């Protein structure tokens, strides 16, 4: 606890906020590295991100992602980003 308080006293507010904001990206990198170690042939696939407003848009997006993943799966294991 003392170390934490000392660190907080030394860091400017903005820098501390920046470090907190960077944590999700760092955790994602650690997870990807672990996945690569467990499954070296894995491909990391980024699925499209969008705002969906209707059932039809959901169905269309799901079909698009399904095809993207099936195509990638032909080349080896898939990890979704």
Is the pLDDT higher at 17 or at 57?
57
pLDDT tier for residue 56 given thresholds of 50, 70 and 90: very high
pLDDT value at residue 64? 98
Q: Is the pTM of this model over 0.75?
A: no
pLDDT tier for residue 20 given thresholds of 50, 70 and 90: confident
Rounded mean pLDDT of 32-59? 93
Q: Where are the domains of the chain?
A: 1-38, 40-81
**Does the pLDDT of residue 15 top 90, yes or no?**
no
pLDDT value at residue 54? 98
pLDDT value at residue 2? 86
Question: Which are the contacts of 46, defined by CB distance < 8 A and separation ≥ 6?
Answer: 81
The SS3 of residue 11 is coil
């Amino acid at each position: 606890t003392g170390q934490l308080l000392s660190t907080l006293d030394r860091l400017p507010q903005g820098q501390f906020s920046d470090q907190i904001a960077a944590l999700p990206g760092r955790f994602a990198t650690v997870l990807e590295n672990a996945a690569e170690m467990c499954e070296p042939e894995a491909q990391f696939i980024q699925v499209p991100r969008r705002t969906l407003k209707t059932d039809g848009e959901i169905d269309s997006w799901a079909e698009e992602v399904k095809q993207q993943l099936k195509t990638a799966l032909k080349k080896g294991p898939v990890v979704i980003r």
